[in-house]
Amino acid sequence: MNNFESTLGGKMPAPSAVGKLLLALWQNDLRFKRSGWQLALLVAIAAGAIVYGAWQQEVIHNFGALANAQSATIFYMVPSLALGTQGPSLAALLVWIAIGRALFAILCAWLDMVFHKKITGRAFDWESMINVALVNGLFSLGALFAVLNQPIRNLLAHYDALVASVPTLVDLNGSVALVVAVLIGDFCFYWSHRLCHETRCFWNLGHISHHRNRNLTQMTCAIEPGWLPLQAAGGLALLLLPVASKLFTTDIRDAGVALVVLMVIDTLVDPSHSIFLYWLESKSRLLRALRAVFVTAGVHYMHHSNEVTGPHGTGVNFGARLSVWDRVFGTYAEPTTELPRTGLFDPEADLCVNPLRYVLRPYLRMGLELRRNKMSDWPFIVFGSTDYEPPNPVRMSR
Ligand SMILES: [Zn+2]
Ligand SMILES: [Zn+2]
């Protein structure tokens, strides 16, 4: 791994005490010995991270809110359904499925830890889990910044006004509306996610964080930084979706039993970074049959494989819930029987088991690229394709 100090060039002044501390914080990975006081500290921090992670889930810290919810998300990327529009028994059933979905995600995260050795042959990566908990905490603060940022809110208000002028072409209702809403939601997600992989700024300043981990599980999965409004995989989808939803308005209130079926499927595929579900899928023909239409845990885990680059060299399986769009656009890859290795395609990439490097390294790298190259190259460095290399490349691991 090349550290940034060796890439800065020139003579560096001797660092002060604060400088030395910062350098040590930057360079050292979070590692604990598996004996003595270091083991005791690791167990205490890991237990704290697990309890804190569970507590952050609404189903644990505010069960009442979920049990008395006025609306429910039936399927990812489909606008939520007002439960008052349903009969009391169907509304109650949907609430219980929503609770079950949240508990199932927590259960899968824990099963990943328990069965990690059996499934992967390697010990669970506790340091990665602690690091990701810290990183995710920092990244969620970024989301707060984006929401509070007045210029961003002004821009979104202008965008809302623009969307209002989009004409409606088709009005749909019932089960047909539900199917179309699912197709539209995933179409928007597919293209925004693919753009995140293919465009330098979205990839290098955002989505790369979600793909860095080489020991990926539900508990070691980093979210994306929220401080740039459009870099997260869902960001562009959030802009595309209102337009698509205005063109094809979908009223899913009368979809009846289809609501229940889709919500159960959403529950099954929601823990999409679970190695336990990947393993279960490899044993169950019924679960594998779902891949024909849906992005099962196995299909999304393949998206994180560092072994399958796909036709565009940037990856496969970009859909969130449907495998349909990947099949249509030629980016679908069937999950392998063995769990694939995850992480970035570059084998020299920094694992960043260090929250500072995890958060800042991609920004530092792009900053150095801008410094090393002419201003005329800057648009390509920021907005170019991810396979673009600037004329004066930065010799520093990703
Ligand atoms: Zn991705
Ligand atoms: Zn993912």
**Ligand closest in space to the Cα of 273:** 2
Considering only residues 159 and 123, tell me which one the structure prediction assigns the higher pLDDT.
Answer: 123
Between the CA of 387 and the centroid of ligand 2 the distance, in Å, is: 21
Confidence band for 233, pLDDT divided at 50, 70 and 90? low
Between the CA of 186 and the centroid of ligand 2 the distance, in Å, is: 15
Per the CB < 8 A criterion, the answer to whether 266 and 321 are in contact is yes
pLDDT at 166 (0 to 100): 87
Per the CB < 8 A criterion, the answer to whether 78 and 66 are in contact is no
Between the CA of 272 and the centroid of ligand 2 the distance, in Å, is: 7
Assess whether pLDDT exceeds 90 at residue 243.
no
Confidence band for 369, pLDDT divided at 50, 70 and 90? very high
Between the CA of 233 and the centroid of ligand 2 the distance, in Å, is: 10
3-state secondary structure of 42: helix
- Residue 186 token pair: 């995933």
What is the pLDDT of the chain when averaged over all its residues? Answer: 89
Assess whether pLDDT exceeds 90 at residue 391.
yes
pLDDT at 5 (0 to 100): 47
pLDDT at 314 (0 to 100): 86
Assess whether pLDDT exceeds 90 at residue 190.
yes
Between the CA of 193 and the centroid of ligand 1 the distance, in Å, is: 6
Between the CA of 362 and the centroid of ligand 1 the distance, in Å, is: 16
- C-alpha span between 285 and 297 (Å, rounded): 14
Assess whether pLDDT exceeds 80 at residue 147.
no
**Ligand closest in space to the Cα of 232:** 1
Between the CA of 216 and the centroid of ligand 2 the distance, in Å, is: 9
In the block, residue with structure tokens 């179409």: 187
CA distances from 394 to 61, 143, 200, 354, 364 (A): 46, 29, 15, 21, 10
**Ligand closest in space to the Cα of 274:** 2
Confidence band for 171, pLDDT divided at 50, 70 and 90? confident
Between the CA of 312 and the centroid of ligand 2 the distance, in Å, is: 18
Considering only residues 280 and 174, tell me which one the structure prediction assigns the higher pLDDT.
Answer: 280
Interval 281-296 mean pLDDT = 96
In the block, residue with structure tokens 């981990």: 213
Strand partners, 171: 249
Assess whether pLDDT exceeds 60 at residue 74.
yes
- Residue 171 token pair: 């009005």
Question: Residue 304, Cβ neighbours under 10 Å: how many?
Answer: 23
pLDDT at 1 (0 to 100): 46
- Residue 322 token pair: 């449907």
pLDDT at 2 (0 to 100): 46
Confidence band for 47, pLDDT divided at 50, 70 and 90? very high
**All residues at 6 or more sequence positions from 317 whose CB lies less than 8 Å from its CB, including other chains:** 295, 299, 300, 302, 303, 323, 326, 331, 332, 333
**Ligand closest in space to the Cα of 207:** 1
pLDDT at 162 (0 to 100): 87
Between the CA of 161 and the centroid of ligand 2 the distance, in Å, is: 32
pLDDT at 287 (0 to 100): 95
Between the CA of 173 and the centroid of ligand 2 the distance, in Å, is: 32
**Ligand closest in space to the Cα of 300:** 2
Between the CA of 300 and the centroid of ligand 2 the distance, in Å, is: 6
Per the CB < 8 A criterion, the answer to whether 85 and 91 are in contact is no
- C-alpha span between 190 and 237 (Å, rounded): 8
Between the CA of 155 and the centroid of ligand 1 the distance, in Å, is: 26
CA distances from 76 to 50, 188, 319 (A): 25, 12, 11
Assess whether pLDDT exceeds 50 at residue 273.
yes
Between the CA of 131 and the centroid of ligand 1 the distance, in Å, is: 20
Between the CA of 197 and the centroid of ligand 1 the distance, in Å, is: 6
**Ligand closest in space to the Cα of 302:** 2
Between the CA of 164 and the centroid of ligand 2 the distance, in Å, is: 32
Between the CA of 319 and the centroid of ligand 2 the distance, in Å, is: 10
Between the CA of 127 and the centroid of ligand 1 the distance, in Å, is: 23
Q: What percent of the chain has pLDDT over 90?
A: 61
Helices in the chain by DSSP H: which ranges?
4-8, 17-27, 36-56, 58-61, 63-67, 88-114, 116-120, 126-148, 150-164, 174-198, 200-202, 208-211, 233-247, 257-269, 275-283, 285-289, 297-303, 324-328, 355-372, 378-383
Assess whether pLDDT exceeds 90 at residue 11.
no
**Ligand closest in space to the Cα of 213:** 2
Interval 343-353 mean pLDDT = 89
Assess whether pLDDT exceeds 80 at residue 219.
yes
Between the CA of 143 and the centroid of ligand 1 the distance, in Å, is: 19
**Ligand closest in space to the Cα of 216:** 2
Q: What percent of the chain has pLDDT over 70?
A: 92
Give tens-digit pLDDT for 82-138: 999 999 999 999 999 999 999 999 999 999 999 999 999 999 999 999 999 999 888
**Ligand closest in space to the Cα of 299:** 2
Between the CA of 211 and the centroid of ligand 2 the distance, in Å, is: 7
Assess whether pLDDT exceeds 50 at residue 35.
yes
Confidence band for 12, pLDDT divided at 50, 70 and 90? low
User: What one-character-per-residue DSSP string does 107-163 give?
Assistant: HHHHHHHHTHHHHHSS---HHHHHHHHHHHHHHHHHHHHHHH-HHHHHHHHHHHHHH
Interval 201-221 mean pLDDT = 92
Between the CA of 209 and the centroid of ligand 1 the distance, in Å, is: 9
- C-alpha span between 390 and 370 (Å, rounded): 9
**Ligand closest in space to the Cα of 195:** 1
Considering only residues 274 and 169, tell me which one the structure prediction assigns the higher pLDDT.
Answer: 274
